[in-house]
Amino acid sequence: MVFRDLISDVFNTLWSNKIRTSLTMFGIAWGVVSIVLMVAAGEGLRAGQQKQAQSFARDLMIVFAGRTSMQAGGTRAGRRIIYETQNIPRVKEESPSCKYVMPELGQNNIPIRSNYNNASITVTGSYPEFQEVRSIDVAEGRWYTWQDVAEKRRVAFLGSEAKKQLYASRTALGETIYIQDIPYTVIGVMRDKKQNSSYDGWDVNKVFIPFSIMQQDLPNAPPATARSVDRLLVTPVNVDAHEACKHEIRVALGRIHGFDPNDKEAAGIWDTLEEAKSFQRMTDGMKYFLGAVGIMTLFLGGIGVMNVMLVAVRERTREIGVRKAIGAPAKLILRQFFIETIVIVGLSGGLGLAFAYGICALVNLAPMPDFFAGLLPTWQSGVLAVGLLGLTAVCAAMYPARRAASIDPIEALRYEAGG
């Protein structure tokens, strides 16, 4: 039998047993769809949360000034730590693994008015690099520069929601806002962004001004000094330098302010990189759990496929006997069963993948929640599902076919299905 005749015979056999073939194909396709969709849901959750985390900050550590909980250098515990502006260059110099060490000042519920509306808004002041480390994109205008800081220019950058409060749909660029009755010129507006965390409110609801003018117009209230800052924003030179940067910051601050570097109460650090790693471990666990559920579904589907294939081969024992009686070798009989199974697996696996990817594409057309990136299928899950179910189907078909092909043709011809 030439290969073309073999293939023709395979398709004729499958077509003549449409119900049995359809059941087998449905079992394989359903298993593929189940595992692809489950893994896609887990991947969408992971990617969505990762995107939200990056929208807040990139590899950022926020170092808050606190109170000492340990004695150091003859000083008592419970002493308040105050970060001074003039010490920041020294901290940076003693922390070579850190890319940025910058101060941040923030004042909540500051009365701000424009020519159209009034609002109570958080005002934040820092260095120009604040835009980079806090992932702030410009929709209109520009961010403030070092020249603005050096010349203490009264310029303001508006968060997207703050702009809506003060100007609604009107253009804000070049307009004047009054922060505690002090005029500031609007130089830019933020592009809208989503955050999954914050320590003093969402960035879209803030007004950002240069650090120097913030210290002059809105200094810290007593008992802090006018030259003090609320917190330091620190980023490592790269991800590998993260732990070294954190250690160097603690040592530098401890030496300058006279506290033990191991005193975490004196300098509390919110490490967004560690937080991101912890969240990734959680989302990875969820993805693995969904994958495990998918594997169990795949296993159950495999049992169904196996049962159908076993019954199908047993029902064809007489057919095998006829083939052997007219001189067909066992190898040719096994080859036909193998090709039949591969055709079934290929067609049903392809249909299952097409259906699963189609569902993912349709779902992703709808608006997604802020922390979910949609259904993101992976090729690995599809290959795994098709491979496992295909292997199950081949084994379930070839084992009884091999046994049937090895028996005497007379015994095969006497076989009655169900007997």
Domain boundaries, given as residue ranges, for the chain: 3-54+277-414, 61-272
Model confidence at 9: pLDDT above 70:
no
Chain segment 340-362, per-residue pLDDT in tens: 777 777 888 888 889 989 988 89
Model confidence at 39: pLDDT above 50:
yes
Q: Which two tokens stand for residue 35?
A: 């595992």
Residue 81 pLDDT grade (very low, low, confident, very high; cuts 50, 70, 90): confident
Q: What is the distance in angstroms between the CA of the first residue and the CA of the last residue of the chain?
A: 32
| Span of 5-9, 69-73, 261-265, 332-336 with lowest mean pLDDT | 5-9
Higher local confidence (pLDDT), 144 or 76: 144
Higher local confidence (pLDDT), 248 or 317: 248
pTM above 0.85, yes or no: no
Q: Which two tokens stand for residue 53?
A: 């985390």
State residue 372's pLDDT score: 75
State residue 318's pLDDT score: 67
Residue 129 pLDDT grade (very low, low, confident, very high; cuts 50, 70, 90): very high
- SS3 annotation, the chain: CCHHHHHHHHHHHHHHCHHHHHHHHHHHHHHHHHHHHHHHHHHHHHHHHHHHHHHHCCCCEEEEECECCCCECCECCCCECCEEHHHHHHHHHCCCCEEEEEEEEEEEEEEEECCCCEEEEEEEEECCCHHHHCCCCEEEECCCCHHHHHCCCCEEEECHHHHHHHHCCCCCCCCEEEECCEEEEEEEEECCCCCCCCCCCCHHHEEEEEHHHHHHHCCCCCCCCCCEECEEEEEECCHHHHHHHHHHHHHHHHHHHCCCCCCCCCEEEEEHHHHHHHHHHHHHHHHHHHHHHHHHHHHHHHHHHHHHHHHHHHHCHHHHHHHHHCCCCHHHHHHHHHHHHHHHHHHHHHHHHHHHHHHHHHHHHCCCCCCCCCCCCCHHHHHHHHHHHHHHHHHHHHHHHHHHHHCCHHHHHHCCCCC
Model confidence at 134: pLDDT above 70:
yes
State residue 309's pLDDT score: 63
Mean pLDDT calculated for residue range 186-215 = 86
Residue 149 pLDDT grade (very low, low, confident, very high; cuts 50, 70, 90): very high
State residue 249's pLDDT score: 92
Mean pLDDT calculated for residue range 44-53 = 71
Model confidence at 227: pLDDT above 90:
no
Nearest partner of 233 among 380, 63, 369, judged by Cα = 63
Q: Which two tokens stand for residue 173?
A: 């660029």
Percent of the chain whose pLDDT exceeds 70 = 74
Mean pLDDT calculated for residue range 21-35 = 78
State residue 169's pLDDT score: 87
Note whether 152 and 209 are within 8 A (CB): no
Mean pLDDT calculated for residue range 18-24 = 72
Mean pLDDT calculated for residue range 94-121 = 91
Q: Report the b/e string of 269-305 with b at 16+ CB within 10 A.
A: bebbbebbeebeeebeeebeebbeebbebbeebbebb
Model confidence at 65: pLDDT above 90:
no
Higher local confidence (pLDDT), 294 or 99: 99
Percent of the chain whose pLDDT exceeds 90 = 25
Instruction: State the virtual CA torsion across 42, 47, 49, 53 in degrees, nearest 10.
Output: 160
Instruction: Say if residue 148 is exposed, middle or buried (CB neighbours under 10 Å; 0-12, 13-18, 19+).
Output: buried
Lookup result for tokens 């023709």:
8
Higher local confidence (pLDDT), 397 or 101: 101
Q: Give the integer Cα–Cα distance in Å for 379 and 32.
A: 11
Q: Give the integer Cα–Cα distance in Å for 305 and 303.
A: 5
Instruction: Say if residue 90 is exposed, middle or buried (CB neighbours under 10 Å; 0-12, 13-18, 19+).
Output: middle
State residue 229's pLDDT score: 83
Mean pLDDT calculated for residue range 162-172 = 92
- Number of other residues whose CB lies within 10 A of the CB of residue 28: 31
Mean pLDDT calculated for residue range 97-118 = 91
The highest-confidence range among 151-160, 198-207, 342-351, by mean pLDDT, is 151-160
Mean pLDDT calculated for residue range 145-158 = 95
Residue 1 pLDDT grade (very low, low, confident, very high; cuts 50, 70, 90): very low
State residue 223's pLDDT score: 56
What angle in degrees, to the nearest 10, is found between the helix axes of 379-406 and 330-365?
A: 160
- Cis-peptide into 377, omega within 30 deg: no
Bridge partner residues of 125 (DSSP) = 105, 209
Model confidence at 175: pLDDT above 90:
yes
Mean per-residue pLDDT over the chain, rounded: 80
Model confidence at 407: pLDDT above 70:
no
